[in-house]
Homo-oligomer: A and B are copies of this chain.
Amino acid sequence: MQSDAGIEALLARQLPLDGEELSRLQAIATAVALVPQQSLFVSGDLARHVYLVVDGTLRVQKSLADGRRLVIAFVFGSDFLGLAQEDRYTYGVEAVTPAQLCRFRRQHLEPLLDACPRLRNRLRRTASSELQRAQDRMLLLGRKTADERLASFLLQLAERHERAEGPPHVVPLPMNRRDIADYLGLTTETVSRTFTQFRADGLIDFPDAHRAVLLNLELLRERSGDGLDLPA
């Protein structure tokens, strides 16, 4: 738990609400803080809450019976969690870094949605882009080579992180190699080898363990397999 000051500001910034809507939303919000590796919920839990990430990085994950794992998505500040869940969560969420979230009971949120078309629309658009990203990831997981997956991953992080820094683009990598591998359907060894290769080719550099510098966006894009087809 922490002060609600950050949450208020975040809500106001993220959501197209007027004063009354905002205060009604704040009234049903509570703060949640997680330490690294801590679980927010696991697959199968009753889906009683929706979350808004205030700060930090988390991973959404699913596993097969024998333990093979896939990281469905990394989520960052201002992302939502649990929007599409009906009865129970169908995935687990764990903190990658220390994280702060804002929790809403679905039970309280839903009537508010009915009354507030703008909020409803904001969440609908959020869900739409989540689905589109899921489809891009299917293409990556089903058809891209290891090189292409890593290149796509770095570019995606860069896009997500973009603060008007010209090249060279510095991207934080809060997650470890295992998380990256499980996100891309690879192994830690392949991720490590490919990063080494990229570095040898002058595409990237690692000033420290948790940051990558993208030295050549153009070449990275070529290696991502996406081509110039449709930037849709």
Which A residues contact B (CB, under 8 angstroms)? 43-44, 62-66, 68-70, 72, 84-86, 88-91, 114, 117, 124-125, 127-132, 134-139, 141-144, 184-185, 225-230, 232
Beyond A88-B232, A124-B124, 13 extra complex contacts between A and B, CB < 8 Å: A63-B229, A64-B225, A64-B227, A65-B227, A65-B229, A68-B143, A70-B139, A72-B135, A84-B132, A90-B132, A90-B232, A131-B131, A142-B185
Q: 9 closest A-B pairs (Cβ-Cβ)? A: A65-B227, A142-B185, A141-B141, A134-B134, A84-B128, A141-B142, A84-B131, A70-B142, A68-B143
Partner of A64, one of B114, B117, B226: B226
Q: Are B127 and A228 in contact (CB under 8 A)?
A: no
Q: Are A143 and B232 in contact (CB under 8 A)?
A: no
Provide a sorted-by-A list of 14 A–B residue pairs whose CB atoms are within 8 angstroms.
A43-B232, A44-B232, A62-B138, A62-B139, A64-B144, A69-B143, A70-B138, A70-B143, A72-B135, A127-B127, A127-B131, A137-B138, A141-B141, A141-B185
Given contacts A117-B114, A232-B44, contact A86 B139 (CB under 8 A): no
* Cβ of A212 to closest chain B Cβ, rounded Å: 22
- Bound state CA distance, A127 and B188, in angstroms? 33
List the number of copies, as a whole number.
Answer: 2
Given contacts A141-B141, A141-B142, contact A127 B66 (CB under 8 A): no
- Bound state CA distance, A229 and B139, in angstroms? 26
- Bound state CA distance, A73 and B125, in angstroms? 21
Chain B positions within 8 Å of A141 at CB level: 138, 141-142, 185
Chain B positions within 8 Å of A130 at CB level: 131
* Cβ of A227 to closest chain B Cβ, rounded Å: 2
- Residue of chain B at shortest CB distance from A65: B227
